[in-house]
A and B are shown apart, each in its own frame.
Chain A
Amino acid sequence: MGISLNLEYGYAGQPNFGQVLFFGLGAVVGATVAADLLPMFAGMAVGNICDVSAELSRQIIALAYPAISVAVWVIALLLAMVAGGIVGVVVSYPALRVKQEWFLSMILLVSGEAFRIIVTNTPQIGCGFNGIAGITTPFYWLSSYFPSGPLQPQVPTGVYSVIIVALALACFVVAQRIGNSPYGRLLKSVRDDKTAAESLGKDVSRVRKQIMVIGSIMAGLAGALYVYYIGIASSDDFIPAVTFSVWVMMILGGYANNRGLLVGAFIITLLDRGSLVSGILLESYLPNPNLIIYGRYMVEAVILLLLLLFRQKGILPETRVKTKAYTLFDFGGVRASSTPARDGERKP
């Protein structure tokens, strides 16, 4: 999710305050697909997917049919990406007509909130307020191969986490390869000066649309992956704070630097999970554990302020678009005076 935002804003200058829209969409689509297809493939009646009984039968199927659960998972991911992409196209139409980027960000922020409220209040979409529960990881069946014990329920989650990390790394590699290509240059030019980019023959509105769709697809994928991890698609998870956490990751790690983003994501996730776990562990000692659990937002705010004051480029600053073009200059030895300014500053 962070990588998609970094492509959109860090590289292409598209401020997306509605990232959670695509994330939530991916989650709801992923969960709905899982809830509908699991019983269907297992030859059972689908019935009402919101029922507790449906929730239980999903878990039973996931335990009994490895092939079906993995297949459904793959389909759910694909459909979540498709849904993210389609909505990305739809939203980009009005959004990219506005000249000022900040209007776009407001449109997306509002769309994200509207989506959350609609889902919460419409039982037909993602079971509304209750959410779709009982979405097990696609490796739930693995637990039956392990001896029962305290670790047994953790096995599928552990395997699944590895898969998520692998997929995230794949996204990172793709983003890196895109970033260090002529297309990365094109994105940055659109970010820096749209009029000048147009005057150099670049179709700015097409580029903006493309990156919006790519970002939405990635965010949709993230949503579906998340719902499979957390086990429930609940509209409570699609609050704007999710978007802003991702923004903090990007600002902390460094704009237009995919490596920096990984660092930022790692720190913020650690903070996020760490505050939750420590809050629960310390529950009995503290009058109000929520202080720790929700204190992370305050910590994030402080991080943001400190960064804005002291290190606007983030932990790892933007780097050159590294293509082979530099080899001619770096190793060609044409001019003795060619000393590259490697640690150039980008003015805010």
Chain B
Amino acid sequence: MKDDAILSVENISKTFGGLKAVDSVTFPVRRGSITGLIGMNGSGKSTLFDLISGVLKKDRGGSVMFDGKAIDRLPPHKIFALGLGRTFQTPRLFTGMTVLENTMLAAKGQRGESPLVAPFHSRWEGQELELAKKAHDQMERLEIGGLYGKWSNEISGGQMKLVQLSNGIMGDPKMLLLDEPTAGVAPRLAQDIFQSITDERGKRGTTFFIIEHRLGVLFKHVDTILFMHQGRILAQGSPEEIVKDQTLREAYLGM
């Protein structure tokens, strides 16, 4: 089981002032799985994502291993380079850029991103076209191809979610952390988003770790669910197993 984990989080915590947002959390995420993370608002889910992706620094002690490497001291861009991408709860697109530029930006290893190479267009234009082809196909798959020329603050909140997903996939991650990919999205589109996630996993074996409140659609697509409550992981298991947890039923589902 252990060798099978692409991400293993050991005993990490994060304190804000007196509040323990994440409290000695330990769990693995299986390679190639779609794992859900559920819990009340303020239970520490997004903070946990911030710790894993390097946006926040964890408290002393514990470790985060990704694909065999310790990543808990690395800055976010190095973590991304290792193949661990993420999206944000409120979409953080680059507003001074179009949708296409947002997605193109996310591609890894662009030669034209060096200031010394950038003025010589012939040295990166071939790669640019390849990436554009990829961006194009991917945006078509997510049904946002028609938005390519819009400024990214002109589109709707649901479309922003899709663009963000598209950005995340563009970097060819081994694993992608998605923070509420369907919040504010119409039900049919939510289904589509999860369908694309499952397709993507099937196609490239990408591991997904997803925070989501839409349990109906989430449970249909995930393999494993983690339930977080007051900074701790209280239960983990398949959707069928997890709904038996008493705290989850009372505190989260209100049953």
Which residues of A come within 8 Å of B, CB atoms? 174, 177-178, 181-186, 188-189, 191-193, 195-204, 210-211, 214, 256, 318, 320-321, 323-329, 332, 334-335, 337-342, 344-347
> In the complex, A235 Cα to B100 Cα: how many Å?
47
Contacts of B121 in A (CB 8 A): 177, 181
Question: Contact flags (1/0) for B119-162 with A, using CB distance below 8 Å?
Answer: 11100110011011101100010000110111101100000000
Say yes or no: B106 contacts A195, CB within 8 Å: no
Say yes or no: A196 contacts B92, CB within 8 Å: yes
Question: Contact flags (1/0) for B161-180 with A, using CB distance below 8 Å?
Answer: 00000010001000000000
Say yes or no: A347 contacts B118, CB within 8 Å: no
Interface residue? B59 (CB, 8 A): no
Say yes or no: A326 contacts B100, CB within 8 Å: yes
Chain A nearest CB from B107 CB (Å) reads: 9
Partner among A183, A256, A339 whose Cβ is within 8 Å of the Cβ of B149 = A339
Interface residue? B185 (CB, 8 A): no
Contacts of B15 in A (CB 8 A): none
Say yes or no: A183 contacts B106, CB within 8 Å: no
> In the complex, A328 Cα to B140 Cα: how many Å?
13
- The segment out of B21-29, B109-117, B204-212, B224-232 that lies at the interface is B109-117
Contacts of B150 in A (CB 8 A): 340-341, 344
Say yes or no: B88 contacts A196, CB within 8 Å: yes
Q: List 23 A-B contacts (CB under 8 A).
A: A177-B119, A177-B120, A178-B115, A181-B121, A185-B101, A193-B92, A195-B92, A198-B76, A199-B55, A199-B77, A199-B86, A199-B88, A200-B105, A200-B106, A201-B76, A201-B81, A320-B149, A324-B129, A326-B100, A328-B136, A332-B136, A341-B151, A347-B95
Say yes or no: B96 contacts A256, CB within 8 Å: yes
Question: Contact flags (1/0) for B207-248 with A, using CB distance below 8 Å?
Answer: 000000000000000000000000000000000000000000
> In the complex, A329 Cα to B100 Cα: how many Å?
9
Interface residue? B66 (CB, 8 A): no
Say yes or no: A183 contacts B113, CB within 8 Å: yes
**CB nearest to B111 among chain A residues:** A182
Which residues of B come within 8 Å of A, CB atoms? 53-55, 75-77, 80-81, 85-86, 88, 92-98, 100-101, 104-106, 108, 110-115, 117-121, 124-125, 128-129, 131-133, 135-136, 140, 145-146, 148-151, 153-154, 167, 171
Partner among B97, B106, B115 whose Cβ is within 8 Å of the Cβ of A214 = B115
Chain A nearest CB from B64 CB (Å) reads: 15
Say yes or no: A181 contacts B119, CB within 8 Å: yes
Ordered nearest first, which 10 A-B pairs have the shortest CB separation? A340-B149, A201-B80, A182-B112, A325-B132, A183-B118, A344-B151, A196-B92, A192-B94, A198-B76, A181-B118
> In the complex, A347 Cα to B108 Cα: how many Å?
28
Contacts of B128 in A (CB 8 A): 182, 323-325
> In the complex, A137 Cα to B165 Cα: how many Å?
57
Say yes or no: A202 contacts B77, CB within 8 Å: yes
> In the complex, A328 Cα to B129 Cα: how many Å?
8
Chain B nearest CB from A261 CB (Å) reads: 16
